[in-house]
Structures are given as structure tokens and as C-alpha cells.
Amino acid sequence: MSDLKSCLLIVDVQNGFINESTKHIPPLIESAQRKYDYVVATRFFNPDNSFFRTLIKWNRFAPGSDDVLLAFDPRKDALIIDKPTYTCVSESFVGWINDRGISVVYVCGIDTDICVTKCAVDLFEHGIEPVVLSELCASCAGENAHKNALSTLKRYIGESQIK
């Protein structure tokens, strides 16, 4: 068991996602990074002509804007993944995880009800065990959205996978 490596996936803890419901998350994330062998942080960006802009009519997070900046100081050795989608779980990322012998990915960040859920479910579907760290997650839409997402995640990936 001692050969297993731990990985913390920090989802979209960015300036543009910080509000009254999420402002407590960045300092918690900063301190949690020390406990893991690997740290990965994602940064969402919203390119021109994306479905976020055309279908949802959501125009924030333009590449290079202050919204996109991380709202915490990542560890110096953290892998940063820029993503124009809800998830960072791609074949490349799965390969990166497998190459390092990581079997469990601890997931945290913002928004519990959107990108955190999508990443956790995608890891599950790729055969990588996700554990969602509920105290290190929040939703811009408020506490009810966060709690509802955790309830849904229990059904998606297993009750024991929510800590």
C-alpha cells in the first residue's frame, strides 16, 4: 500500500468563481495541498463562440481575464490544466494519472454542482477512484446547490466516496 501515490485535483478555484458562498475555499485548498504526493489544479476559460457563450449566454472567463486567475497559490510542483470544458478528465490526463501509479484522486473545488461533479464522474467512468472532499468544495449558487450535488454524487460514484 505504501507504493500508492495520492493526488489532489483542485477544480476551478479561480477569481471569477469566488463569492460569499465560495470565499472560504481558497485558504482551505492552499493548506490541503501539503498532504498529497501530486497536486493538479484546473483553470476554466471560456473561448469565443463556445456553447457557454452561445447556448447559456454566459460570457465571463475570457482567456486572459482576471476571472481565469487562480484564487490560491498552487504548490510549485502542481500541474496546472487549462480547460474550456466542464471536465479535465481526458485520455491525456488519465494517462498522466496511470503513469504515476495513482489509483485514487481526491477531488475538491468549485462548483460542486457542475465541474466538481463532472470531473468526479468522469474519473469513475475511466476506472479511477474519485473521492470528493466535501469540506473543500462549494458552489457559487449557494449551500443548497452544494448539498444537492453531494447527494447526487453519492448516487453517481458511491456514498463512501464522499468525505
Residue from 145, 78, 77, 84 nearest 110 by CA:
145
**CA–CA gap between residue 142 and residue 109 (Å, rounded):** 14
CATH tag, 5-161:
3.40.50.850
Residue 81 near residue 88 (C-beta atoms within 8 A) = yes
pLDDT band at 138 (very low <50, low <70, confident <90, very high): very high
pLDDT band at 1 (very low <50, low <70, confident <90, very high): very low
pLDDT at residue 101 is higher than 90: yes
The pLDDT value recorded for residue 159 is 97
* CB-CB neighbours of 155 under 10 Å: 8
Residue 161 · residue 130 · CB < 8 Å: yes
d(CA 67, CA 16): 4
- Mean pLDDT computed over 74-102: 97
Supply the pTM of this predicted model.
0.95
pLDDT category at 26 given cuts 50, 70, 90 is very high
Positive or negative: CA dihedral 126, 132, 137, 140: positive
Cβ atoms 116, 13 nearer than 8 A:
no
Domain ranges (residues) in the chain: 5-161
